[in-house]
Chain A
Amino acid sequence: MSDTTLSRADPSHVATIQSSYMAEVQRRRLYGGLTLLIFVLLMVSGFMIADDRNAGGFWEGLSQVGDYPAEVLSEAWEKRADLPGLLVKYFPALIETINIAAVSTLIGAAAGLVLSLLSTRGLARWPRLIGLFRRIMDIMRAVPEIVIALVLIFVLGGGPVPAMIAIAIHTAGALGKLFSEVAENADLKPVEGLASTGATWGQRMWLGVIPQVAPNYLSYGLLRFEINIRASAILGFVGAGGLGYELRNSMAWGPGRFDEAAAIFLLLFGTIVFFDQLSSRYRNRLTEGDRT
């Protein structure tokens, strides 16, 4: 049963390997320790700078953090009888908000899909332009939605369309980056197989890459939809309509309409939970369908 390949090398040889590996371990530990030290220093200094520049001061304000939510909750609790009526009253606004989110997610995801394939190494239609498409996506992500929305509201007037365009632009940039990272890990063999049959770039992407990455794309898209529901609510603050507009009016301190604010928060929370449940169920079916 003895085998030459299993015989031990001479002991000094093992000692060499041991000491060289230990040296490497020491070096890695040193680097790890230094990284940890830099991380801690950055955390502490960052916190101190933020605390200095803060108008009120973190420690003094900490005790008052609960004041606003407490007042909202207590007032909403006093007027709890009105809540069902308010939920019904704001439901149309919620539909408008979801509408903005859905349309902008669809448009943004379609644009992100094209941008991602154009900017993935190994898949790009024009490999030299990868950098260009990446920078385009960077710009789309870099400009805050609220800035684009404000500019568009100035040009087009208030309403849901500027909000939709603003969110779609940000979504295209954000999803494009995530999609492209997924596409980078896709198996290139099916693509090569399709190329060998004389398929065009569009055919190779649609038939060779998309089936592999579809579950991941869908799950990123649904996550983005949740984010966009919240984003479209926020854009209501600057006059883009929907739930956000109502929320801004009701949550200001003073007029005593915190019951309405509570109703709107409940609607938003319920919507997010609903779509989260829906998307996880749908996603599970998609991935399980792949296995069988």
Chain B
Amino acid sequence: MLEIDALTKRFGPNTAVDAVSLTFDKPAMIGIIGASGAGKSTFLRMVNRLTDATEGRIIFEGTDVTALKGKARRGWQSRCAMIFQQFNLVPRMDVVSNVLHGTLNRRSTLATMFNVYPEADIHRAIEILDRLGIAEQAPKRAEALSGGQQQRVAIARALMQDPAMILADEPIASLDPMNAQIVMDSLRRIHEEDGRMVIANLHTLDTARRYCDRVIGMRHGRVVFDGRPDQLTVGVARDIYGAGADFSESATSTDLETLDRQPDAAATAKAFV
């Protein structure tokens, strides 16, 4: 359904994404891992068309997405929702209004400027919030919510777009482990229940292993690993991150259950203390 063909992005002399070619046959939950600066964010931003590609093509169900302009481009953006590390909500507007922003592409500019939305949309927005367990927060301002709640509002906005795929750019990087788990569980559930494709940039290996059907590793703008999560061994991870033999993933883990699952790792951690 989605095909990436030699996608490249250059910023001046630097190549952020270097001839990435990938094929996605069916909706899946996909994790992209790699060190910061590996080109993960730029890749997702190009798929959403927030950033223009320098070379290469993105083909979604036969349409060349990279060639879309104006209204068609905004139409594509509404079909592939995006979630950001810093949530990117409008802080001074209430939660439901933020969720209703997911319908902006379908509504006239004038009506939305005066915050006029159909009643059915408002009801649906609150149902989506309820699905994510934060319906009680509906009338509050977005800035009054905790980070984890705000990210769930952002997911609700994405769902309001009724998208074919959801792109998540480091969705849990600024959340504590408890909220990170809630957000990742929500994304996984959206994939399983709605059959939407989810592509998430992740900064921890255990999250990628636990939630994803397929993991892509990027380094210096190139795809250096593409496979099932169980193929993601420590050796492969060292290659992706360009780390030496002292690399230990439990040291960077944010998973609550790491401590229970890996008593030996916990013991090592204690030894360091």
Contact = CB atoms under 8 A, between A and B. Distances in A.
Nearest to B178: A5
B178 to A, nearest CB: 9
Contact of B135 (A1, A5, A17, A32): A17
Contact of A6 (B115, B116, B189): B189
Interface stretch (B118-126, B216-224, B231-239, B256-264): B118-126
B189 A18 contact: no
Interface string A21-39: 1101100110010000000
B138 interface: yes
B118 to A, nearest CB: 11
A28 B122 CA distance: 14
Contact of A1 (B115, B116, B122, B189): B189
A14 B123 CA distance: 9
A100 B124 CA distance: 62
Interface size class of B (residues with CB under 8 A): 20 to 34
Interface residues of A, number: 19
Given A18-B123, A22-B119, A25-B122, A6 B135 contact: no
Contacts of A24: 139
A272 B116 CA distance: 42
Contact of B192 (A1, A9, A22, A32): A1
A165 to B, nearest CB: 42
A158 B145 CA distance: 62
A9 B96 contact: no
A7 interface: yes
Nearest to A7: B133
User: Closest 3 A-B residue pairs measured CB to CB?
Assistant: A3-B185, A14-B130, A18-B126
Interface of A: 1, 3, 5-9, 13-14, 17-18, 20-22, 24-25, 28-29, 32
17 contacts: A1-B185, A1-B189, A3-B181, A3-B185, A6-B131, A6-B132, A6-B133, A6-B189, A8-B133, A14-B126, A14-B130, A14-B135, A17-B136, A21-B126, A22-B122, A24-B139, A29-B116
Interface of B: 96, 114-116, 119, 122-123, 126-127, 130-133, 135-136, 138-139, 181-182, 185-186, 188-189, 192
